[in-house]
């Protein structure tokens, strides 16, 4: 009986260790684990995570793990991200914002014809150059409002893409406001929110006030153009 109990304890420990090791390997190579796949399969849980909700902020503050392009479940993750981005009318979103801590983002390429929305797996900024500018930023995960942030306006980016069925590393130089979007979204992958980089001590401008300010600015610019 004693030997049987020892054997059962050993077997349970071995199974637990085996499962933990398998999940660790999945995380390291970028495959989604069972918990992530289960979450993606349950549409009732899908939403944009907010920093104003304690449990959701914990996800937003976590450093994300590698993502493996074209592997099981990432098609569902891409669809979820696209849906939440469209719903929020944003220009970018990161996987942690929909509850999955993987290094995957969507960015609207305002620097390309048609301004398409594109996915980027394991993006990394390898160089920042040019000048820094201060500009307004908001976030789908921060309902409190908008703030000003200093960002680089030229970056060198590396990311994974599929080429003839193989994952290859791509390099691209990006400039202008699109570079700002990439910096904002890649920050999310490291648990950093724009409020961590906000200039000055002023509180965030509520969203309705920000949109009204932008409306007045556009009206004034249109009036000046008409007068000329």
Report the chain's terminal Cα–Cα distance, integer Å. Answer: 96
Q: Is the pLDDT of residue 26 over 90?
A: no
Residues spanned by the domain of 183 = 36-227
Is residue 205 domain-resident?
yes
CA 90, 92, 96 angle in degrees (round to 5)?
Answer: 110
pLDDT class of 226 with cuts at 50, 70, 90 = confident
Q: Tell me, what's the pLDDT at 13?
A: 46
Does a structural domain hold residue 7? no
Number of domains in the chain: 1
CATH code where residue 83 lies: 3.90.45.10
pLDDT over threshold 90, residue 20: no
At 174, give phi and psi (nearest 5°): -125, 140
Range with the poorest average pLDDT among 10-24, 47-61, 99-113:
10-24
Q: What tens digit of pLDDT does each residue of 149-191 get?
A: 999 999 999 999 999 989 999 999 999 999 999 999 999 999 9
134: in domain: yes
Domain-embedded: residue 95: yes
Say what the pLDDT of residue 225 is: 75
Residue 200 tokens read as 């000055």
Does residue 71 sit in helix, strand or coil? coil
Report which of 156, 154, 148 is spatially closest to residue 204, judged by C-alpha positions: 148
Would you name the residues annotated as active-site residues?
Answer: 185
17: pLDDT strictly greater than 70: no
CA 114, 115, 119, 124 dihedral sign is positive
Compute the mean pLDDT over every residue in the chain, rounded to the nearest whole number. 90
Residue 122 near residue 66, CB atoms below 8 Å: yes
What pTM was computed for the model? 0.86
């Amino acid at each position: 009986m004693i030997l049987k109990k020892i054997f059962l304890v050993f077997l349970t420990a071995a199974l637990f260790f085996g499962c933990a090791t398998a999940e660790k390997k999945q995380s390291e190579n970028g495959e989604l684990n069972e918990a992530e796949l289960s979450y993606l399969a349950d549409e009732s849980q899908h939403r944009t995570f907010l920093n104003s909700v304690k449990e959701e902020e914990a996800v937003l503050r976590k450093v994300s793990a590698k993502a493996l392009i074209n592997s099981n479940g990432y098609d569902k993750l891409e669809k979820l991200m696209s849906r939440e981005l469209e719903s929020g009318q944003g220009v970018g979103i990161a996987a942690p914002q929909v509850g999955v801590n993987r290094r995957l983002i969507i960015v609207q390429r305002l620097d390309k014809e048609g301004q398409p929305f594109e996915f980027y797996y394991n993006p990394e900024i390898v160089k920042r150059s040019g000048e820094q500018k201060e500009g307004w930023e908001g976030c789908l995960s921060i309902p409190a409002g908008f703030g000003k942030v200093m960002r680089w306006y030229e970056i060198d980016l590396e990311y994974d893409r599929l080429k003839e069925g193989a994952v290859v590393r791509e390099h691209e130089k990006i400039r202008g406001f699109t570079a700002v979007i990439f910096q904002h979204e890649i920050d999310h992958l490291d648990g950093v929110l724009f409020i961590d980089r906000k200039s000055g001590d002023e509180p965030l401008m509520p969203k309705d006030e920000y949109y009204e300010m932008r409306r007045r600015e556009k009206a004034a610019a249109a009036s000046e153009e008409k007068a000329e």
